[in-house]
Amino acid sequence: MARVRDVIPDMLLAQRGTLFPFVPVSLGFGIGLYFALRVEPPVQVLGGLALAGLLLLVWHMRIRSAFAPLVCAVAMMALGVALAGARAHLVAGPVIDWRYYGPVTGRVVDIDRSASDALRITLDHVWLSNVPLSETPTRVRLSLHGDTAGVSPEPGQTISATAHLGPPGGAVEPGGFDFRRHAWFLRLGAVGYTRVPLVLWEEAGRDRFTFQTRMAISARVQSALPGATGAFATAIITGDRSAIPQPVLQALRDTNLAHLLAISGLHMGLVSAFAFAVLRLGLLVTPIGLRWPIKKIAAAGALGVAAVYLALSGGNVATERAFIMVAVMLLAIMVDRRAISLRAVALAALIVLALRPEAMIGPGFQMSFAATTALVAVFGAIRDSAHDLPRHKVLRGIASVVMSSAVAGAATAPFAMAHFNQIAQYGLLANLMTVPLMGLLVIPAAVLGILLMPFGLEAIGLIPMGLGLDWILYIAQSLALWDGAVRPVMTPGPAVLPLITLGGLFVVLWQGRLRLLGLTPVCIAVLIWMNAERPPILVAEGGALVGVMTEQGRAVSRATGAGFIAEVWLENDGQGLDQPTAAALWNDQIPLVQHIYGKRAAATYQGCSDGRLVVASAELPEMPQVPNCTVLDARALKGLGSLSITRREDGHWQIEKARDRTGARLWNDAGLRQAQ
């Protein structure tokens, strides 16, 4: 024990000056702990953790002990739990827990497309018929189906429609992606659809000026660049993806180029770098260049350009994160600090987590900071070593592009595989053939087009931009057709990504040979992932669909309907089946499971034989109980959510509910009855 007390201080002292990047890691650990809880901690506990964390921070700054970094780590963990809990309470709003059909009125605050390619609008200032304001959701989201040829929704308009609404759905399988939690932080209290034309109640006001400007720019861009090219350009400039066709989006995903659509670190970095270079070169040839620190002035100007880009893009989470990262680096230039360093990345992560702690559990945050951290670490190591990149400009540029794509691809691969259940096997090739063009042509041309737009000359910039985007789309659509372009991957267990993340961060951030210990949790995570098993039987919420694992893959009980649920199940299985193929496996080879869908089929129910599992989406007639027979009809399934079922050795069925994994949290049970 005494030796441990001697070794740990020596280890920490050896890391002196390099431990700051572990601060956001500790904060993130606390945030992850909050989301992993099965029971919502009381507000008093959250307040106590916040106070304890602050006191520990003050104490760690006062003590002169080698253990001070450990005290700081514990403090940040406590603050992480408190911060995530506070954020969950701050975004709280009414969530309906019933089915609503009737008039819905609200102001359009967002326009996008659903997974089924339907136009979708988000409304605030919501009014529902016969629903008290205290129970009316803060926001609702409507998919527009059928004949909606009335009013074309525009940002800021107040519209009305007769719509179907319901509460946000939970995970489609126990342990899966929890949309109900995601909707809670988006302040969505209801989701639904309408099949009737929209009615305009009030035109857009001036309070939505930025949103209207975005949409106006989108229209101008798509007028100059029609089709998929214009939709792609609009996504890059304003963040509006509503016009991108689903086949194009799928091709970009299958070639690992979908990141080019999101206004994230790449786009914000390129825009800022372009603005910085133009301003610095422009000032260099003026008298200011001889008297003033033009590098700092250019950094300030680039920061202003980045802020305008943030506003034009709609300010979504990914763009906010990218802006913070760029802002930290530009501010570092302005105060004579190294712009690109692990400390700068850590500071950006700390700010993002403080503002939106829920972002940490999303793929965008994880992939963005994984790529950035890996790139900074690798190029920093090359810079500090005796082995530098080739000095020849062309060779150096080629080596930088190849290495950047390879490092970023390797760093983000585990997260992409875990969240999207696939590997884009030609992703590296696609990125090598397209990403350089983004910096050399697409982004500079886009900036030129926006600057010339007030004069009606935007085509001068947008046409060259369109040529670059045409090439990117050509590469994506061509490579997506190659054999083996996409390899499906089974979803990992809940411990896999945390182990990979913590192990990888230790390898990157710790100094010395001891960093290789970080490979241990990574290897353990890989072994867990390789030996993962999927649930033998899955039941959708309400009994709408049943999936049974067979030797040929998962068989689903319906060839059509519940398509989103079937798609998620089959993607998580990692076997590459589609719903019709999976439905063809549902035959007499599954003698122990029976699915009854609809009231007509339920009326013909003749009873359950020994050892069978019967799942019905409607209420079944009362029948005598049969030993070892489990019947789950609408009455039994109500409120349970999705199910995972396993047959035990004694012949009984073991049922796990989605609620068993999510627990009693704010975003469940209509916000724990609106937080009591």
Backbone dihedral region for residue 673 (phi beyond 0: left; psi -120 to 50: alpha; all else: beta): left
For 160-187, what is the mean pLDDT? 92
How far is residue 629's CA from residue 655's CA, in Å, rounded to a whole number?
13
User: Residue 675: its pLDDT value, please?
Assistant: 47
Query: Per-domain residue ranges for the chain?
Result: 2-90, 100-204, 216-488, 496-530, 537-638
> Identity (one letter) of the amino acid at 674?
Q
CB-neighbour burial class of residue 30 (10 A; exposed 0-12, middle 13-18, buried 19+): buried
Asked if residue 471 lies in contact with residue 438, where contact means CB atoms within 8 angstroms, the answer is: no
How far is residue 475's CA from residue 43's CA, in Å, rounded to a whole number?
52
Confidence of residue 393 (pLDDT cuts 50, 70, 90): low
653 membership: H or E segment, kind and range: strand 653-657
CB-neighbour burial class of residue 643 (10 A; exposed 0-12, middle 13-18, buried 19+): buried
Asked if residue 409 lies in contact with residue 454, where contact means CB atoms within 8 angstroms, the answer is: no
Distances (CA, A) of 571 to 354, 492, 525, 579: 33, 12, 20, 10
Beta-carbon count within 10 A of 399 CB: 15
How far is residue 140's CA from residue 153's CA, in Å, rounded to a whole number?
15
pLDDT digits (tens, 9 = 90+) for 639-670: 888 999 998 877 778 899 988 888 889 998 65
> Identity (one letter) of the amino acid at 126?
V
Q: Which residues contact 663 (CB under 8 A, 6 or more apart)?
A: 37, 38, 39, 40
Q: What is the CATH number of domain 100-204?
A: 2.40.50
Asked if residue 593 lies in contact with residue 613, where contact means CB atoms within 8 angstroms, the answer is: yes
pLDDT digits (tens, 9 = 90+) for 461-510: 999 999 999 999 999 999 999 998 999 999 999 999 999 999 999 999 98
CB-neighbour burial class of residue 419 (10 A; exposed 0-12, middle 13-18, buried 19+): middle
Distances (CA, A) of 631 to 543, 557, 598, 620, 651: 11, 16, 15, 9, 14
Asked if residue 189 lies in contact with residue 95, where contact means CB atoms within 8 angstroms, the answer is: yes
Check whether 253 has a pLDDT greater than 60: yes
pLDDT digits (tens, 9 = 90+) for 44-103: 999 999 999 999 999 988 887 778 889 999 999 999 999 999 999 999 999 998 899 999
Asked if residue 361 lies in contact with residue 418, where contact means CB atoms within 8 angstroms, the answer is: no
Check whether 4 has a pLDDT greater than 70: no
DSSP 8-state symbol, 199: E
